[in-house]
């Protein structure tokens, strides 16, 4: 009997885990869980990135359909503040109307979208970011050279979704009357039934990656164009002012508005007395579409032969772009202080090259479609 108990005891002792063995098992389990979390995180990020690309591609297809139906791309809307901080002026048509953008009143209860018109000389200078002599407008009046005003947060909502009030586009809710390149809509303000044709929205605005945001404002945008980032009081003042009902944007899954860029090619050569495109910098491509390190070279020497397109023929021929901010919610053109804060890189006295590298890091997750 005693021997049996010893055997049983011996077997029990041999079957138990030691403390070291338990620790090893726990470490293995924790490691496997960590690997699973990393894998799930990577899969989630990949799925989000794919969704972002699909959304921007869908918006580009909508622009293509809009152009097919109307024989022109959606116009570039002048959003008003804060873009006028950089542009220094308004579209020609807006200057004679009441309102600061993105719409202006032409008569009682009839408003027109404020757009940059390539057929107007002053507007063409903005679309080229060059003055009449061909010199670049970038960085004038103490503004950052990265603060390019040639984009709109509202244009895609206006022209692809028809998200304007009825007094502007003729239709209550989504949809619009037939749009015109100059910012109006055919039949608005006309005799009942005269020339009116209702156009359905070109995009679905009830998805995870494309949503309508009413009274949209981007606080960091003010700092990007030379002002101060808005605090809550500043946001409240913008979202309750008289133009708030017109400020509707298409936003991504993070609530950041997609930007619609438009530009024109060419640099006026006073020697030849004509507009020329002799180097890729003469294409006047917005900085948000260019590798920041290449853009930095052009800023240092505007007449350099550096290829700002990076050899991309599609970008070389483009005149519009749809840009999503991606996972980090930044475009890479924001005020450098905003970018530093977002990345936890609060460094003062940053060199031009270091700034370009930081912008490049932020820009890498941008989602872009170009056309023209």
Q: Which residue has the higher pLDDT, 298 or 366?
A: 366
Nearest to 155 by CA among 259, 288, 286: 259
pLDDT at 2: 43
Per-residue pLDDT band for 331 (boundaries 50, 70, 90) equals very high
Note whether 308 and 285 are within 8 A (CB): yes
pLDDT of 225-276, one tens digit each? Answer: 888 888 899 889 888 888 899 999 999 999 999 999 999 999 999 889 999 9
**The pTM is what?**
0.86
Q: Which residue has the higher pLDDT, 280 or 36?
A: 280
pLDDT of 332-369, one tens digit each? Answer: 999 999 999 998 877 677 888 999 999 999 999 999 99
Collapsing DSSP to helix, strand or coil, 276 comes out as strand
pLDDT at 12: 47
pLDDT at 16: 66
Instruction: Report the C-alpha gap between 319 and 321 in whole angstroms.
Output: 7
Per-residue pLDDT, averaged over 202-211, amounts to 90
Start-to-end CA distance of the chain, whole Å, equals 95
pLDDT at 190: 61
pLDDT at 347: 66
pLDDT at 53: 93
pLDDT at 314: 96
pLDDT at 147: 86
Per-residue pLDDT, averaged over 50-71, amounts to 95
Per-residue pLDDT, averaged over 120-127, amounts to 91
Q: Which residue has the higher pLDDT, 318 or 83?
A: 318
Mean residue pLDDT of the chain comes to: 86
DSSP string, 217-264: --HHHHHHTTS----HHHHHHHHTSTTGGG--EEE-TTSPBPEEEE--
């Amino acid at each position: 009997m005693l021997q049996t108990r010893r055997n049983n005891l011996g077997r029990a002792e041999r079957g138990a885990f030691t403390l070291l063995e338990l620790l090893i098992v726990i470490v293995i389990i924790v490691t496997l869980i960590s690997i699973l979390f990393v894998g799930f995180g990577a899969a989630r990020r990949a799925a989000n990135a794919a969704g972002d690309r699909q959304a921007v591609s869908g918006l580009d297809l909508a622009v293509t359909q809009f152009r097919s139906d109307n024989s022109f791309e959606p116009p570039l809307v002048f959003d008003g503040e804060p873009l006028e901080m950089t542009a220094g002026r308004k579209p020609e048509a807006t200057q004679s109307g009441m309102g600061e953008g993105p719409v202006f009143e032409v008569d009682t209860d009839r408003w027109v979208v404020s757009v940059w018109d390539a057929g107007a000389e002053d507007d063409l200078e903005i679309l080229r970011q060059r003055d009449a002599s061909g010199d670049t407008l970038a960085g004038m009046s103490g503004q950052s050279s990265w603060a390019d005003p040639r984009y709109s947060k509202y244009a895609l909502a206006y022209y692809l979704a028809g998200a304007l009030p009825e007094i502007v586009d003729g239709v209550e809710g989504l949809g619009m009357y037939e749009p015109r390149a100059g910012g109006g809509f055919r039949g608005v303000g006309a005799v009942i039934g005269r020339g009116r044709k209702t156009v359905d929205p070109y995009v679905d605005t009830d998805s995870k990656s494309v949503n309508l945001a009413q009274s949209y404002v981007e606080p960091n945008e003010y700092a990007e164009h030379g002002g101060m980032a808005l605090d809550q009081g500043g946001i409240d003042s913008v979202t309750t002012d008289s133009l708030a009902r017109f400020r509707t944007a298409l936003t991504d899954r993070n609530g950041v508005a997609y930007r619609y860029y438009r530009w024109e090619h060419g640099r006026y050569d006073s020697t030849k007395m004509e507009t020329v495109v002799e180097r890729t910098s003469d294409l006047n491509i917005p900085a948000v579409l260019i590798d920041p390190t290449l853009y930095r070279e052009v800023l240092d020497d505007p007449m350099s032969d550096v290829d700002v397109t990076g050899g991309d023929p599609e970008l070389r021929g483009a005149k519009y772009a749809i840009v999503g901010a991606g996972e980090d919610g930044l475009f890479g053109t924001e005020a450098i202080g905003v970018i530093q804060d977002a990345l936890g890189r609060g460094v003062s006295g940053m060199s031009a090259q270091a700034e370009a590298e930081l912008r490049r890091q932020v820009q890498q997750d941008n989602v872009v479609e170009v056309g023209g």
